[in-house]
Amino acid sequence: MRFNICVLLGLILLVGSGCATMIRGTDEPLSITSEPSGALAEVSDGQKCTTPCQVKLKRNQSVMIKYTKEGYEPESLSVFPTLAGAGVILGGVIDYGTGAVYSLTPNPAHVMLKPAKAQVPAAKIEEPNAKKSFSEQLDELEQMQKEGKITKEEYKVLRERAIKGE
């Protein structure tokens, strides 16, 4: 009787080893999203896509994703493997070796892109005369904005320069 129990336990352990490898697999689809959508996502393993999109990664693989979109600041996000709860108990040595005990975090990999700071083109803007008083410089800037010679963003940048005395 004791021998039968030992054989049964041995069979359960043998069959149970690698359970996550068989059920979950060693790859995981990673959803990549951004706000706004339409950003180029470049994964450090060489894969590229335009958000929203999905790439396939190994469950035990850490990657960096670089997001770029015209008019927005570039952004990066790290994705890394974390232990999945059931894998620790049932997985055994095989699942650790194949990486099936892991899940990629965060998934989805989501970032909120920030608008790029206004670049003031030097050729387009005639800066106010520095010999004028501060209030005269501000009046001239306001007039340039009203006439459409500079944008609101350019006005802000030039106003800051005038305040700093540049």
Examine the domain organization and report whether 69 and 143 are in the same domain. Answer: no
Q: How far apart are the first and last CA of the chain?
A: 92
d(Cα 137, Cα 161) in Å, to the nearest integer? 11
pLDDT at 7: 55
In a domain, 8, yes or no: no
Examine the domain organization and report whether 105 and 121 are in the same domain. Answer: no
The arithmetic mean of pLDDT across residues 112-138, rounded, is 68
For residue 43, is pLDDT > 90?
yes
Q: Give the burial class of 124: count Cβ atoms within 10 A of its Cβ; 0-12 exposed, 13-18 middle, 19 or more buried.
A: exposed
Examine the domain organization and report whether 54 and 133 are in the same domain. Answer: no
For residue 107, is pLDDT > 80?
yes
Q: Give the burial class of 67: count Cβ atoms within 10 A of its Cβ; 0-12 exposed, 13-18 middle, 19 or more buried.
A: buried
Is the CB of residue 91 less than 8 Å from the CB of residue 12?
A: no
Is the CB of residue 39 less than 8 Å from the CB of residue 51?
A: yes
Residue 162's domain comprises 117-166
Q: Which helix (H) or strand (E) holds 25?
A: none
Domain CATH code at residue 87: 2.60.40
Examine the domain organization and report whether 70 and 141 are in the same domain. Answer: no
Examine the domain organization and report whether 59 and 140 are in the same domain. Answer: no
Chain segment 45-77, per-residue pLDDT in tens: 999 999 999 999 998 899 999 999 999 999 999
Which candidate, 30, 17, 29, places its Cα nearest to that of 97? 17
Examine the domain organization and report whether 126 and 94 are in the same domain. Answer: no
Examine the domain organization and report whether 64 and 40 are in the same domain. Answer: yes
Examine the domain organization and report whether 35 and 75 are in the same domain. Answer: yes
Examine the domain organization and report whether 133 and 98 are in the same domain. Answer: no
Chain segment 74-96, per-residue pLDDT in tens: 999 999 998 876 544 545 665 66
In a domain, 164, yes or no: yes
In a domain, 58, yes or no: yes
* Total count of domains within the chain: 2
Examine the domain organization and report whether 132 and 55 are in the same domain. Answer: no
Residues of the chain with pLDDT > 70, as a percent, come to: 67
d(Cα 79, Cα 67) in Å, to the nearest integer? 13
Listed residues 89, 112, 135: the one ending a domain: 112
